[in-house]
Amino acid sequence: MFDHESLRSTVAARAGSMSHNAIAPVLVARAMQGEEGVLTADGAVSVRTGAFTGRSPKDKFIVRDALTSASVWWDNAGAMSPDHFDLLLADVVAAMGGLSLFRQDLLAGADPRHQYGVTVLTPSAWHALFIRNLLIRPGEMVPTGSNPTPVTIVHAPAFQADPARHGSRSATVIALDMSRNLVIIAGTSYAGEIKKSVFSLFNFHAPRQGVLPMHCSANLGQDGEAALFFGLSGTGKTTLSNDPARPLIGDDEHGWSEDGVFNLEGGCYAKTIKLSATAEPEIFAATRRFGTVLENVVLDEAHVPDFDDVSLTENTRAAYPIHVLPAIAKGSMGGTPRTVVFLTADAFGVLPPIARLTPEQAVYHFLSGYTAKVAGTERGVTEPQATFSACFGAPFMPLHPTVYGDMLAEKLSSSGASAWLINTGWTGGGHGVGKRIDIASTRRLLSAALNGELDDVEMRTDELFGFEVPVTVPGIAAKLLTPRLTWADADAYDRQAMHLAGLFRANFEKFGEAANAAPGPRLAQAAE
Clarify whether 479 is annotated catalytic: no
Q: Is 238 a catalytic residue?
A: yes
**Do residues 386 and 372 lie in contact, with contact meaning Cβ atoms separated by under 8 Å?**
yes
Q: Catalytic one among 124, 188, 189, 238?
A: 238
Among candidate residues 84, 317, 373, 505, the one labeled active-site is 317
Alpha carbon 288 to its chain's center: 23
Known catalytic residue: 406?
Answer: no
What residues have CB less than 8 Å from 261, skipping those under 6 apart? 218, 226, 228, 249, 254, 255, 333, 334, 335, 336, 337
CA dihedral 111, 117, 122, 125 (to 10 degrees): 50
Q: How far apart are CA 337 and CA 334, in angstroms?
A: 8
Return all residues near 23 (Cβ < 8 A) that are at least 6 apart: 132
Give CA–CA dist 425/504, Å, rounded: 17
233 catalytic? Reply is: yes
Catalytic residue, chosen from 215, 246, 365, 373, is: 215
Catalytic residue among 180, 237, 254, 288: 237
Catalytic-role residue among 84, 196, 373, 411: 196
Contacts of 70 (CB under 8 A, 6+ apart): none
* E strand segments, 162-259: 173-177, 182-186, 212-220, 226-231, 248-250, 253-257
Is 195 among the catalytic positions? no
**For 35, left (φ over 0), alpha (ψ -120 to 50), or beta?**
left
Distance CA 214, CA 252 (A): 8
Q: 342: left (phi > 0), else alpha (psi -120 to 50), else beta?
A: beta
* 8 Å CB contact between 216 and 392: yes
Please calculate the CA angle 57-343-62 and round it to the nearest 5 degrees.
20
Write down the catalytic residue from 91, 252, 346, 462.
252
d(CA 210, CA 258) in angstroms, rounded, equals 8
* CA 19/CA 102 separation, integer angstroms: 5
- Annotated catalytic, 317? yes
3-state class (DSSP) for residue 29: helix
CA dist., res. 215 & res. 231, Å (int): 8
Q: What is the DSSP string of 429-473?
A: SSTTTSEEPPHHHHHHHHHHHHTTTTSSS-EEE-TTT--EEES-B
Give CA–CA dist 314/283, Å, rounded.
17
Selecting among 71, 233, 358, 447, the annotated active-site residue is 233
State residue 444 phi and psi, 5-degree precision. -65, -45
Nearest to 521 by CA among 499, 505, 506: 505
- Tell me the C-alpha to C-alpha distance, in Å, between residue 264 and each of 180, 261, 361: 20, 10, 27
**Active-site residue, selected from the candidate residues 48, 55, 443, 499:** 55
What's the rounded Cα separation, in Å, for the pair 47 and 296?
6
For residue 327, the SS3 value is: coil
Residues annotated as part of the active site: 55, 196, 215, 233, 237-238, 252, 317
